[in-house]
Structure 1
């Protein structure tokens, strides 16, 4: 039985597939199985993927006849047939350093309390050229509950699934049924429920390459305001799980009000309506409140 199950969900990423798959197959740690899931691609992906059917590392390739409409349905399917102790969801348009698996598996094996190990990322464009290195991605090691209150309440700390390896035993089965209803923030909700009873570590080594291009789901989702319509559901989910003092909660609400104010969304009122009280007051008085809050 392999130590790691690598799940590769794909939809119309033919231009990136060969490089992506080769970055997996050439890992220095070869103790893995690869599960490939194609969601009814129409761009030549099927031909490329079929060429790997007989590769010894490929456990299975599943071609959907009809598009599922959700990458999270593909996650669920891949997790269901995986046999490894650890999971790596390797998005089909990203890349990994050759020692990605070796590094993260060593971290997880050397600390039984650690359930999630992920990397800082290099952002690349369609041609693979580096375009950004997020400066905030420093070394981090903390209890999941601490991160929920300090980091995940503000957004998805593990913003790219490709950067992460985690214990399969932590997968929240009930949450898996929920995330398939999300178009954008399902991974955020997934991590929120997965990390709450474990430790999480981020390496400052940039072992993951996160590709940004015109077909990224996030671009369309952000333009529709899904980071608020879906994201605020996740925030409320965290509020229910964790204990926040009165002032702590107001700071979180104010943070999201400011985030909405600074967004490019035209109709901001629709999202103010779904924010908890006193979001509307904060929105009106945010310049003053920003000065008053410690």
Structure 2
């Protein structure tokens, strides 16, 4: 009788040892999965083109002091000068070098895009994970708050908050970050609701693992695909929003160089018709940056699609 109990106990122990908390993958299999995603991404020609263009814009922002021929704040004696050998893209109405301001403007756009997305991805991921994992009244409260945020007119709320807080680079990043999380919270919540029904999560609950450990170590890593794709599109949207705010006079204020406030200087019909060097270069840079990020997002979405990996 005692021998039977010993055998049963041994079987129970061995059974518990065989329950994995996460799917067991060998190093080679994990590397092959990452390699497949990388190969699929680089087969997407537009995604590769977007990656190249975005990398060049990022390097331009980082190396702005080395690439800009002059200070973006320096005023010369040439007002609204056409492009020449001395001023590659001409000068604005104040006499500042547009090429230098264009280079430094990339810093503002990328700072707003990356900074705002980092804030709202953190907020949306945490709230979505909590709502999806705990469910019940916690899910109901968080989702109703999400519905309230999504019911407000986005641009109008941003304009009101920026006007109250004051137009500045930091305030724009904070406002965009605090208002952009509802979409990604819904995405993360849906992914968590699906993943928490899997056997290895149920096994972790049976073994007594804490909720934070299950959520942050074993559920959220499997949600990285939708989060990354949403973040790339969010950076493009934040760049457009910052340019719109600066064009309306509620964004980054002069003399700070921004693509949006460079467009603001070309509002009159006479400038649009006779001085295209004031608005064409910043418009092209906004177009290139947004398109490159969107192409990268499309490539990531296709590369991480589970159906296409089979």
Q: Which band: TM-score by shorter chain?
A: under 0.3
TM norm structure 1 = 0.21
TM norm structure 2 = 0.20
Q: Which structure's residues are more often strand, by fraction?
A: 1
Q: Which one has a bigger Cα radius of gyration?
A: 2
Q: Which structure's residues are more often helix, by fraction?
A: 2
**Higher relative CO (CA 8 A, sep ≥ 6), structure 1 or 2?**
2
